[in-house]
Structure 1
Amino acid sequence: MTRNVHRPVGLAQLSLVNTAPPELVGVAAQAGFDFIGVRVRPVTPTERPYNLQPGSAMLRETLSRMQDTGVTVRDIEFLLLDGSDQREAWLPMMEAGQALGATSLTVAGADSDSARLVHTLARMTEDGRGFGITPTLEAISYQPVASIAQAADIARQAGCRIVVDTLHFHRYNGPGAAAQWEELRANADLVPLLQLCDGPAARPGSREALVVESRSERAVPGEGEFGLVEAVAALPVSLPVSAEAPSDRRVAELGELGWARMLKSGVDAVLADAATRREPGTLHAAASK
């Protein structure tokens, strides 16, 4: 008989990128999420910046709402490692993350020099120990580090971890694409968080279209063709999952809370489906490979 292990379910900041963290806590709580991810550094020049540095009014308000609702912060984001010295960027991020109680900081690899990227991540990982935060390298389908195999190899050398985003997992079509499922299972021990979204099987035809899809055109988990049940089943049963599914159109139609509730329903349905398909005795098979 299988044990009913609680799996924390979160709401990623990108799903409601224009919702400030204090309000995001409230929306997440009303929609039934356990935690949120927070952008402590904007990714694009047009994004609204959120000042969550120690001593800031927004940090105080966010912490107050977390205490009131029980919603926690598990991960912070986002830094694109491009080969330059970005220590002055990641240290304040880690300070904010520590204040929020986060344990991971998501980064992506835009540096085509893998040896230099390993060095950067190793240095970042060492800095993170003082804040209780571990960098998690995300494979992005349109960046130099695009596959699970690449991300895992770099992370093992640097001593950090990887985060898996189902959009980029399914959009990768480079060398070794057919082995993505095998790589996911083989590196499950590196994964602290699975980000869920959905979409059509067909890959957008240009890098620009991939970026648009990634930032503003994702679908509710379970309503597309990504095979999310298989992704969930490939990883340990208690692994936290996060809904990362931005959709400018549907947020405008449904409102922030309406969209968050739709995402939560989608994630719950995927997890329930995965639970019914999981065979007894295989709950931790992925982690043991």
Structure 2
Amino acid sequence: MPTATGRLLGVAQLSLLSAAPPRLVQLASDAGFDFVGVRVRPVTDAEVPFDVQPGSPLLAETLSRMADTGVVVRDIEFLLLDGTDQRDAWLRMFEAGQALGAESLTVACGDPDLSRARDTLAQMAEDGRPYGISPALEAISYQSVRSIPVADELAVHAGCDLVVDTLHVGRFGATAAELSAAAGRAPMVQLCDAPAERPATREALVTESRSARLAPGEGGLDLLGVVAALEAGLATTPRAGSQLPVSVEAPNSEAVARLGDAGWIEHLHSSAVRLLEQNPTPAATGTAGTDAEARTP
């Protein structure tokens, strides 16, 4: 069921990376989430790959669990554009995503050649149209594309979407104006919290991002300011007055070990609902997510 405000609430695969898609769907349903994101391609060698390609037993089980619970898959992940030819990889991801009913495929850019990255994204967007899936570029604080304006420019050029993640917004210091300007291309916002102080090294940023995020409302980031800035920007789009779906993406190894899989997912849901029902108000000028010192060039 949507929150009391009518906002759709989901949970991203990264919040519980060890859970295979059918189990993630069931845990999400039990906790009260409306949708999930599914990782159809591993990011690191340490991850267990989930084969949800058309015809696979895991896909059939996932679809059965979705039918039983009413939880849907909105997005799939994750591809890091690195400058090599990855077309075969993303075509397989589109196939899996279409079978799951997904609408977007989250990508990030580690390619230092942004001109090449523009062309890659444009090819991805063209390839995704027959599958009904759009690439959604996420600006990540430790990758080549690490600001909302750069991500937005690439998305506009390619004709694709972008994903706003509150952790990375906090770490590179996006402004409310930047978020509002990009809002029309954001199919959802990824929500988590973290301490206000930015980690000092790239390695620490990576560790925080992958395994040490906090539940919404338990850190020092201005989460409501990010949501409000995005929704203020929707006033000039066909989605004026709508509430962006929220996907809670909060991996935390210590918390999962302490609370268990179901306990962590339930905690993420209750924390997100409690925060979002405070009713975000339009953000003021300045940075959204954290203080101005977090901005990176």
TM-score normalised by length of structure 1: 0.91
Report if aligned partners of 1:147, 1:180 keep a CA contact under 8 Å in 2. Answer: no
SS in 2 for 1:201: coil
Unaligned 5+ segments in structure 2 are: 232-241, 284-297
TM-score normalised by length of structure 2: 0.89
Aligned to 2:246: 241
Pair 1:231 & 2:226 matched: yes
Identity %: 59
Deviations 1:174-208 (A, max 9, x none): xxx4x522100111101101000001110111111
**Rounded Cα–Cα distance in structure 1 between residues aligned with 2:14 and 2:282:** 30
Pair 1:131 & 2:131 matched: yes
**Rounded Cα–Cα distance in structure 1 between residues aligned with 2:32 and 2:263:** 12
Q: How many residues align?
A: 270
Pick from 268, 271, 290 the counterpart of residue 263 of structure 1.
Answer: 268
Deviations 1:8-59 (A, max 9, x none): 1001000000000000000000000000000000000010100000000000
Aligned-residue Cα RMSD (Å) equals 1.3
**Rounded Cα–Cα distance in structure 1 between residues aligned with 2:44 and 2:266:** 27
* Deviation for aligned residue 1:216: 0.2
Pair 1:37 & 2:37 matched: yes
**Which residue identity does 1:190 align to in structure 2?**
R
**Rounded Cα–Cα distance in structure 2 between residues aligned with 1:270 and 1:182:** 22
| Change in 2 beyond 3 A, CA 1:116/1:278 | closer
How do 1:95-106 residues align onto structure 2 when only pairs under 5 Å count?
95-106=95-106
Report if aligned partners of 2:229, 2:282 keep a CA contact under 8 Å in 1. Answer: no
Aligned to 2:59: 59
**Rounded Cα–Cα distance in structure 2 between residues aligned with 1:232 and 1:159:** 23
**Rounded Cα–Cα distance in structure 2 between residues aligned with 1:184 and 1:59:** 35
Unaligned 5+ segments in structure 1 are: 280-289
Aligned to 2:184: 189
**Which residue identity does 2:106 align to in structure 1?**
T
**Rounded Cα–Cα distance in structure 2 between residues aligned with 1:253 and 1:69:** 27
Report if aligned partners of 2:98, 2:133 keep a CA contact under 8 Å in 1. Answer: yes
**Rounded Cα–Cα distance in structure 2 between residues aligned with 1:208 and 1:278:** 34
**Rounded Cα–Cα distance in structure 2 between residues aligned with 1:103 and 1:213:** 28
Report if aligned partners of 2:5, 2:277 keep a CA contact under 8 Å in 1. Answer: no
Report if aligned partners of 1:149, 1:180 keep a CA contact under 8 Å in 2. Answer: no
Aligned to 2:292: none
